[in-house]
Chain A
Amino acid sequence: MSRRENIRSRLDWVTIGLVLLLAVLGWLNIGSATSGGEAVDWLTLEGKHGKQLLWIAVCAVLAFLVLNIEGEFFIRTSILSYLGMLVVLVAVLAVGKVIGGARSWFAFGSFSLQPSEFAKSTTALMLAYLLSRGDGKLRSFKTRLQAIAVVGIPAGLILLQPDAGTVLVFGGFVFALYREGLSGNVLVVAFAALVVAVATILTGAAVVQYPVIGAATGVYFLWAVLVGGGGAVIWFIIQSSLPRQRKRIRQWSLLALIGALGFSIALHTGMEKVLAPHQRDRIHVLFGIDVGNPDADYNIRHAKTAIGSGGLTGKGFLNGPMTAYAFVPEQETDFIFCTVGEEWGFLGSGAVILLYLLLLWRLIFLAERQRSHFTRVYGYGVASVLFMHVLINVGMVLGLAPVIGIPLPFFSYGGSSLMGFSVLIFILLRLDAERFTVLR
């Protein structure tokens, strides 16, 4: 038995099948979304769906190449590829092409490439490298700082493009870190921050009559409640706790209160002073706040209409006027899920959600069966990145998250993202196929 056959027999065909299924479904839905109501020629390489078919073929070749590279190569070149990517991300800020308001693209003639799609792979590799070396755990403060830097530096460069969606995806690495021992308090704090953020946005948009200063934003009320109410609660807790614990409780609760207040003030100031009005509107629309512009929720209203009008079984393949006739914006890229919802209904879109869940669970399963620490961290990195994409993208089209343009993995039209995800996942599959040969 040759070594190559050995690899093939150990490949995880379940993952490959799921990925291929998603890509084919994506291709079909792109064809439908861009049909404009005309008959679709499925065998062509013209048009968006034709190009997507070409990209799928390119990615198959890419996957074949990746699978034929020794896993050790990826591990050893982690630092190199990571640093190389940083250089590329700096370069794109300098000479990149602006598409949709972000300087995220390298243009090669008629065809453009988005390097941040590949930065996800290099960052995941680097993070895996970092955590699998040395003491290997996140116990030391130094390792934590290094981990934050590994994720933060490319994320920061991408934020400069600016591409907020991809930055949020990088935030997903927190799941990989959590699996490696990062305190669960991080997740609790993140959840608390989410609650404070929602409260700040809701009260910040409201106008309240105050006794002395008159009409002003309701966020002042929130802050007053935080200081007054929070102080009272803390005092009550301190009074009812054991004296020897009081000092510790006082320190931590005051820290929490000040942190919440500071976060709220910073967020409110950021909303008012830093965000462009249309960005603020997008967030407000999400929370059902009237922004006074009937078109502010145009995208999301039409997305919800497309999905909602699908009903249980959908309007049928190639039969969705909301998407085919361009009522839904970006209907073949970021809003591709609308086509699924409109044409395949609850059953079809629910099935696609299920496919993604199966894929994510499969990735966790793959990560957990590794003896290699590197591969496990990398596997969780892959799962985290995919999860964040699905979370933000589907959340957006369902009106649960603000309008942030990031693609649905393997599904949305676009060569860069498809290649990026392919590289990401097939490196994992190569590493996984080698799981019995490594002894780390």
Chain B
Amino acid sequence: MNYKGRMWVIGGLFGFIALVFVGRLAQLQLGSEEWTEYAARLTESRETLDAARGLMYDRHGKLLVTNRASYDILYTPRAARQGMDTAAFAALLGWERSALEAAFAKADAYASYRPSVIVRQLPADEYARISGELWRFPGVKARTRAIRSNTAGLAAQLVGSFAETSAADLEADPFYRLGDYKGKSGLEALYERELRGKKGTRYHLVDVRNNYQVPLDGGRRDSLAVPGADLTLTLDKELQAYAERLMQGKRGSIVALEPATGEVLALVSAPSYHPDLLLGPKRGANYDSLLNNPAKPLFNRAVRASYRPGSIFKMVQGLIALDEGVIQTSTRIPCDRSIIGCHGPHSYDNLTEAIVHSCNPYFHEVMRRMVQGRRASSIFDDAALGLGHWTERIQRFGFGTDLGGQLPGIRKGLVPDTTLYDKFYGRRSWAYSTIYSIAIGEGELLTTPLQIANLAAIIANRGWYRTPHAVRDVGGKGKPAGVDSLVQTGVEPERFDPVIAAMQQVVEGAGGTGWRARIPGITVCGKTGTVQNHEALEHSVFMAFAPRDTPEIAVSVYVENAGSGGSWAAPIAALLIEHYLADSLSNPEREARILAARDPFPEAP
């Protein structure tokens, strides 16, 4: 029997299989883009090039905030499937093996083919220790990441924090990717857009271990990162450091402004903290301890704390009263202590004397004249109209406003208006007699230390101020537009004469409450204030500007629960002013006394 015909069966089978293969090739290669897309996903990788964040300098170009290298350790689960020695890696990191395994599991659950951060912000020295060993662990890579470093640890609350983006940040702005950092508070947050710069992108072909191999398309689609703009702050680094030193061991704040420009020379909230505490692997624990500290170091008292202004407010009352014409410079008012208490031996002061003596009945009468100005026949309508007008004038001094909002976290304080009292007492149910305590800066009035420093600047300028701000220059383009708008209070310049004279007397006059603010050769104009509170000791407050005729600095100093304004706040202000204006220290005992002082303060003698 001849089976030669079977060659056709066998040859036909070979041909059939070849046909099946070619068909399958057509299906895979010509049928759809699925495999092409999948191959691109596997072999192409986009690398984001982080832009160097802008630095911060003081007004003289001294470095305040810089970037420092740190290292994130990344782990890609898919690449690690081939032989990860978990025990050895845990030993290298100094971790418990179970903790590392938990971290791996979390990374795997997030995305098996993308790197997740296992260790965050390892400092350079620690990274140097382990970097030589990392190659032994597949899927483990290090990524350098610049973190912020506040070189001298100054102005922590003003500069603000720089921390990892939250889920909400990622959703709000597509600029950020998981693991990115951003300014979370302070100037870091306010100028985030300028500081962060522009990210660059590089496309790579990667190998199976996700190592970059060659640029994709010869790098034609790549773009470079654009560094963020540097900020030049208005702060004076020396002055800021000195102010922080003076406030060590105390609670309170210092605000120093340049009256002519509204530039913040120093801004202190005490107690403060070193901003670098909020960086690195221990950030969480440090943050918790700062947050729970009863002295509230994270709270920027200088722009956020609200206090009753007390006697300092009497100057504003006097200025507006003069301008309204309800008193003259020479107007004397009897110190009638039956309505409202007073202190000190005086009985019939003019405005200057009333400010120096802090005469309560004087300003009670002044305020009465302004509020009950006979604008309406009903006493209630009259009070409402009078207060409404008064509120407007007060607000032009910046009280009850955010002062242009150019400083981060700023609060408005409170200037009561008719709406507030209508809510409190009911419409047409209140008159001046109900609300008179605001006449002397008590009652519902609340002001911030910044507003008080700004008041010193207004008086120094005789009637106007520029919006307080902390940034002089952004990326070499000068001051951001609108950052230092000019605001007129509407009070004529000559009205300031009696007030300034009073402020000079407060410091230089015999028995003046601000005598501790005297500086030889510099005419300091100041005003003490004491803020009542539920503690035994009042808050010690002082506001001042100097020199009197060519003002270069305006300050407010708050020391909480320290006693009278003259005892602590005044000498601190004087030391600061002298440090700024003079080359030498005239009164070393004064400085020693302040530096030695610690909270809690002893009861006043």
Chain A positions near chain B (C-beta within 8 angstroms): 36-37, 137, 175, 178-181, 184, 294-295, 302, 304-312, 321-322, 325-327, 341-342, 345-346, 349-350, 353-354, 356-357, 360-361, 364, 367-368, 380, 383, 387, 390-391, 394-395, 398-400
Contact = CB atoms under 8 A, between A and B. Distances in A.
25 contacts: A36-B213, A37-B207, A137-B1, A175-B10, A179-B3, A181-B1, A184-B9, A302-B42, A304-B28, A305-B35, A305-B39, A307-B29, A308-B39, A311-B29, A321-B205, A325-B205, A325-B206, A325-B207, A326-B209, A350-B22, A354-B18, A357-B15, A387-B17, A398-B21, A399-B24
A332 B7 CA distance: 34
Interface string B403-439: 0000000000000000000000000000000000000
A294 B1 CA distance: 55
The 6 tightest CB contacts between A and B, nearest first, are A308-B35, A325-B207, A309-B39, A308-B28, A321-B43, A357-B18
A322 B29 CA distance: 14
A306 B40 CA distance: 10
Q: Which of B22, B28, B43, B205 has the most CB of A within 10 A?
A: B28
Contacts of A350: 22, 25
Contacts of A353: 18, 21-22, 25
Contacts of A361: 11, 14-15
Given A175-B10, A346-B25, A387-B17, 13 more contacts: A181-B3, A184-B9, A295-B81, A305-B38, A307-B29, A310-B29, A341-B29, A346-B29, A350-B22, A353-B25, A357-B15, A368-B7, A395-B21
B214 A309 contact: no
Contact residues of B: prevailing secondary structure: helix
B10 A364 contact: yes
B20 A309 contact: no
Nearest to B17: A391
Contact of A364 (B7, B20, B38, B42): B7
Contacts of B38: 305, 308-309
Given A326-B208, A345-B29, A307 B3 contact: no
B61 to A, nearest CB: 47
Interface string B191-215: 0000000000000011111000110
A311 B36 CA distance: 8
B596 interface: no
B133 interface: no
Contacts of B6: 178-179
B208 A327 contact: yes
A342 B39 CA distance: 10
B35 A304 contact: yes
Nearest to A387: B14
Interface string B516-546: 0000000000000000000000000000000
Contacts of B35: 304-305, 307-309
A432 to B, nearest CB: 16
Contacts of B20: 400
Interface residues of B, number: 40
B42 A327 contact: yes
A356 B25 CA distance: 15
A28 B154 CA distance: 65
B290 to A, nearest CB: 44
Contacts of B34: 308
Nearest to A359: B14
Contacts of A307: 25, 28-29, 35
Contacts of A36: 207, 213
A340 to B, nearest CB: 10
A327 B22 CA distance: 23
Interface in B25-78: 25-26, 28-30, 32, 34-36, 38-40, 42-43
B21 A325 contact: no
B82 to A, nearest CB: 10
A322 B14 contact: no
Contacts of A364: 7, 10-11, 14
B221 interface: no
Q: Which of A180, A295, A309, A368 has the most CB of B within 10 A?
A: A309
B25 A398 contact: yes
B214 A37 contact: yes
A179 B11 CA distance: 11
A364 B15 CA distance: 12
A322 B40 CA distance: 9
A311 B40 CA distance: 13
Contacts of A395: 21
B43 A327 contact: yes
A306 B6 CA distance: 38
A231 B112 CA distance: 52
Given A180-B3, A304-B35, A368-B7, A322 B42 contact: yes
A341 B29 CA distance: 8
Q: Which of B3, B20, B21 has the most CB of A within 10 A?
A: B21
A259 B415 CA distance: 100
Contact of B14 (A325, A346, A357, A400): A357
Nearest to A390: B17
B343 interface: no
Contacts of A326: 207-209
A178 B42 contact: no
Contacts of B205: 37, 321, 325
A46 to B, nearest CB: 21
A38 B20 CA distance: 35
B4 interface: yes
A175 B6 CA distance: 10
B26 to A, nearest CB: 6
Contacts of B29: 307-308, 310-312, 341, 345-346, 349
A284 B162 CA distance: 52
A179 B208 contact: no
A36 B18 CA distance: 31
Given A181-B1, A326-B207, A349-B25, A306 B30 contact: no
B26 A179 contact: no
A176 to B, nearest CB: 9
A295 B1 CA distance: 53
A325 B213 contact: yes
B39 A306 contact: yes
Contacts of B214: 37
Contacts of B28: 304, 307-308, 341, 398
B382 to A, nearest CB: 82
Contacts of B17: 387, 390-391
Nearest to B6: A179
Q: Which of B17, B26, B36, B40 has the most CB of A within 10 A?
A: B17
Contact of B24 (A356, A387, A400): A400
Contacts of B36: 308-309, 311
Given A326-B207, A391-B17, A305 B42 contact: yes
Interface in B150-209: 205-209
Contacts of B14: 357, 360-361, 364, 383, 387
B139 to A, nearest CB: 14
A232 B38 CA distance: 49
A184 to B, nearest CB: 8
Nearest to A37: B213
Contacts of B10: 175, 178-179, 364, 380, 383
A349 B23 CA distance: 11
Contacts of A391: 17
Q: Which of B36, B39, B209 has the most CB of A within 10 A?
A: B39
A309 B29 CA distance: 6
B111 to A, nearest CB: 12
A311 B28 CA distance: 8
Contacts of A367: 7
Q: Which of B14, B43, B206 has the most CB of A within 10 A?
A: B14
B39 A322 contact: yes
Q: Which of B15, B18, B81 has the most CB of A within 10 A?
A: B18
Contacts of A304: 28, 35
Contacts of A321: 39, 43, 205, 207, 213
